A = this chain, B = another copy of it.
């Protein structure tokens, strides 16, 4: 590992710790009740995570000459905002595992069976209920954290209000539209999609919150409400593109990643029939026999391990993985020059290393 990469991981971990310890402050402990709800609210942040959104928010603040210290509540806010989307998405996707443990709805339905003696169907409902409500209060927590930037640190109230409005209208609506399209796409014919549609959907699901993270960091650093400031635009344009590349890498790891490193099972994207760029490329290159095979297994909730392996091999053989990898690399290459608008600094170097990590990561 090069010295530069070591520095990057050191700097990433430093910020990860700052944000995690802020979220674990005593101050918040009494907020969440009763106990099942509290445990659900904290469960994902008590597991190890990459905290890439808060990191890019803090680095963006620093890159424009701001004090990272003032941006810590906002950094914690984007992590918490991301967390509620995970809790609700895991329920929607019927996923069982996340970050090496049970998803919130799965865990809560186990509590219902073990501690409350609920029947299977009552326990399933209880799991759903706790996951819905935990995500709801996490969204509230994220917004409160943004408020703290002004109520407890030095962010100007006008800047905080502009950031809250942006998060709770533009960002959430874009993100949820992406999630809704993702659900709807899974039941439509793969061949009916243009790649731009899939890229747009995954940018909505992922890119928009990365774009926001850098924008928020830069606006706090510059103490401005002007989203058209050229440094704000450079940073948000950069992370917006990186966010799309991140999701492409996520889709790749969802097919050919290592379960242990990822902390979640491989193959669920196949069982859910997720429409990814990988399936798009594979289909484009497939014979009609291969297409029939792919279509018969993609989106089959009870597909066997053998069937999952068969589809995985086809996606690899047909170039789905390699072409997606190339696309992700191309997007990062296009993102890098956006930062030319910023003066050279260690922050800028770390942001470029962050971009590379978005697609080189194995977890």
Interface residues of A (CB under 8 A from B): 31-34, 36-37, 84, 88, 91-92, 94, 116, 118, 122, 125-126, 128-130, 132-133, 135-137, 139-141, 143-144, 147-148, 150-151, 157-158, 160-162, 164-165, 167-169, 172-173, 176-177, 179-181, 183-184, 187
Contacts and interface: CB of A to CB of B under 8 A. Distances in A.
**A-B complex: 5 closest residue pairs judged by Cβ atoms:** A140-B172, A157-B157, A140-B168, A147-B165, A143-B168
Nearest to A162: B151
Given A116-B187, A129-B183, A169 B150 contact: no
Contacts of A118: 187
Contact of A34 (B122, B157, B177): B177
Contact of A161 (B130, B133, B157): B157
A162 B157 CA distance: 10
B169 A92 contact: no
A32 B172 CA distance: 10
Nearest to A204: B33
B147 A161 contact: yes
A144 B130 contact: no
A31 B271 CA distance: 31
A161 B150 contact: yes
A37 B71 CA distance: 33
For A116, A140, A177, which residue has the most chain B Cβ atoms within 10 angstroms? A140
Given A122-B187, A143-B168, 6 more contacts: A37-B180, A88-B136, A116-B184, A135-B136, A139-B168, A148-B165
A251 to B, nearest CB: 20
A210 to B, nearest CB: 18
Contact of A136 (B161, B162, B172): B172
A130 B137 CA distance: 18
Nearest to A188: B116
A33 B177 CA distance: 5
Contacts of A144: 164-165, 168-169
Contacts of A183: 126, 129
Nearest to A165: B147
A118 B8 CA distance: 47
